[in-house]
Amino acid sequence: MNGKIGLRAFSMLLAVMLVSVVLVPVVSASASNSGGEQMSNRSVSEKALVHFGDLTEMRIVDERAVNVKIPFSIKNYDLVVFDLPKIREYLLHGDQLTVYLEGQPYTMDLQETTIDTEAIAKGIHSFTGSLAGVEDSQVLLTVGNKVLLGRIVIDYTEYFIESTSMQDSKSSSAFLQYVYSSKDIVPEGDTIPIDSHLLSTHAIDEKAYALKKMLEEQADPRATVTVRVLVATDSKWMTDEPDWQDTAAAIIQYCNYDFNTLGVNIVPIYDTSKAQQLSSDPQIINSSLSTFKKYFPESYLNSKSADLGLYLGGYDSIEFEGVGSSGGYDFPSLCRYAWAQMADDPSTYDAVLKDRAVVTMHELGHAFDAAHEYAPNQTETYNRAYQFYEHNRYYQTVMWGCFMKTAWLQFSANDGFYGDANHDNSRRITETKGVVASYC
């Protein structure tokens, strides 16, 4: 716990103090006071790791107050507050917005993604794109009602814009946010399997398997399908994080980024009508997926025209000691259900957007029959996750069985980089997507 301080902010403060010490003999004593104020304004507003010029203010807050909200694995971060209305205006008008990463300015080339119409109706807008003129760059931004969330990637370094879900004490409406990069992460806790997905469930129901296989063969893998996903949560997450809706929209956006390339549009239907019931059920912690199904049976999914049900759970669940679960494509009673843990976990999994998106995408992947890297008894021998080596470290595609901080929001694919002919979860998803889209 002691090591967890905003070192960057601290060292900046030190630098500012040193400058003031040098300056004092030069200027008059009476000027040193006003000089101090000016320095704190100037220095804290311009040098966050990730910022948007004068649309960002830096904050230095009592560590104890924010400690509970920022995972211990993030060794360096900057606390910031954004001028959300202005940033929203820029983005919605299609005006160019400059982002500064480690002091370097970049122009973002962004387009709004319009798949999540419910979020847009609530005033939450998501954008994808790249940094102008920067190869291998990627930008995902969600401008919500309370916070700005984002992930900017340059050549496998990830920059994150996150929320503490706490109000900023200096302004009435803004939320306190933090920014950090993947270089600032030192995983803490044990590495755990994400879930205990059944190795192969083909044998469980041969008849259902044969029917699905037939439907797969009839489907066109090049077609684009819409898979409507009922996204439910509980009172716990809604209470813990008043900006949960912004986060949920960002998670769905992250999933869509790769699913879209496979011809799958994930269209969420947000449902909080049973949040209290989920939270009141004592089974929600040790049996998250089946308890979710209890309140959202197939008949309920059908009534909402939802193919799948996804539970974003606010509890540190002890189901299989994992952080997610799904029935899997071939398991008839649960094939339409998935659960991802939003709460922090004693393992390396943290309650940050990236980790949550990895597990959510992983569980949705199982609904399309995407399998782990180790999948004995698989009929589809190509259906495996992949690990690749880049910039002196290993990265894993999203179906990797263990939760890794280096997991990449990408399904394995036969492209010679994210996979090969024997590691191609993407192929499996294009085969099954027509079946999943026809659940309702």
Of 24 and 199, nearer to Zn ion (C-beta) is: 199
Of 127 and 254, nearer to Zn ion (C-beta) is: 254
Of 146 and 356, nearer to Zn ion (C-beta) is: 356
Of 197 and 427, nearer to Zn ion (C-beta) is: 197
Taking the complex as a whole, the smallest distance from the CB of residue 370 to Zn ion amounts, in Å, to: 9
Of 61 and 402, nearer to Zn ion (C-beta) is: 402
* Alpha carbon distance 407, 203 (integer Å): 30
Of 237 and 339, nearer to Zn ion (C-beta) is: 339
Specify whether the CB–CB gap between 265 and 259 falls below 8 A: yes
Taking the complex as a whole, the smallest distance from the CB of residue 375 to Zn ion amounts, in Å, to: 10
Of 272 and 387, nearer to Zn ion (C-beta) is: 387
Taking the complex as a whole, the smallest distance from the CB of residue 258 to Zn ion amounts, in Å, to: 16
Of 83 and 369, nearer to Zn ion (C-beta) is: 369
SS (H, E, C) the chain: CCCCCCHHHHHHHHHHHHHHHHHCCCCCHHHHHHHHHHHHHHHHHHCCCEECHHHEEEECCCHHHHHCCCCCCECCCEEEEECHHHHHHHHHCCCCCEEEECCEEEEEEEEEECCCHHHHHCCCEEEEEEECCCCCEEEEEEECCCCEEEEEEECCEEEEEEEEEEECCCCCCCEEEEEEEHHHECCCCCCCECCCCCCCCCCCCHHHHHHHHHHHHHCCCCCCEEEEEEEEECHHHHHHCCCHHHHHHHHHHHHHHHHHHHCEEEEEEEECCCHHHHHHCHHHCCCHHHHHHHHCCHHHHHHCCCCEEEEEECCCCCHHHCCEEECCCCCCCCCCEEEEECCCCCCCCCCCHHHHHHHHHHHHHHHCCCCCCCCCCCCCCCCCCCEEEECCEEEECCCCCECCCCECCCCCCCCCCCCECCECHHHHHHHHHHHHHCCC
* Alpha carbon distance 339, 326 (integer Å): 6
Taking the complex as a whole, the smallest distance from the CB of residue 337 to Zn ion amounts, in Å, to: 14
Taking the complex as a whole, the smallest distance from the CB of residue 195 to Zn ion amounts, in Å, to: 4
- Spatial neighbors of 385 by CB under 8 A, at least 6 apart, are 370, 371, 372, 373, 396, 397, 398, 399, 400, 401, 412, 423, 425
In this chain, which residue has its C-beta nearest to Zn ion? Answer: 197
Specify whether the CB–CB gap between 382 and 440 falls below 8 A: no
Taking the complex as a whole, the smallest distance from the CB of residue 220 to Zn ion amounts, in Å, to: 27
Footprint on this chain of Zn ion (rule: CB under 5 A): 194-195, 197
Work out whether strand 324-326 and strand 387-390 pair parallel, antiparallel, or are unpaired. Answer: unpaired
Taking the complex as a whole, the smallest distance from the CB of residue 399 to Zn ion amounts, in Å, to: 7
Taking the complex as a whole, the smallest distance from the CB of residue 323 to Zn ion amounts, in Å, to: 10
Taking the complex as a whole, the smallest distance from the CB of residue 385 to Zn ion amounts, in Å, to: 9
Of 5 and 199, nearer to Zn ion (C-beta) is: 199
Taking the complex as a whole, the smallest distance from the CB of residue 18 to Zn ion amounts, in Å, to: 51
Taking the complex as a whole, the smallest distance from the CB of residue 205 to Zn ion amounts, in Å, to: 20
Of 195 and 350, nearer to Zn ion (C-beta) is: 195
Of 134 and 385, nearer to Zn ion (C-beta) is: 385
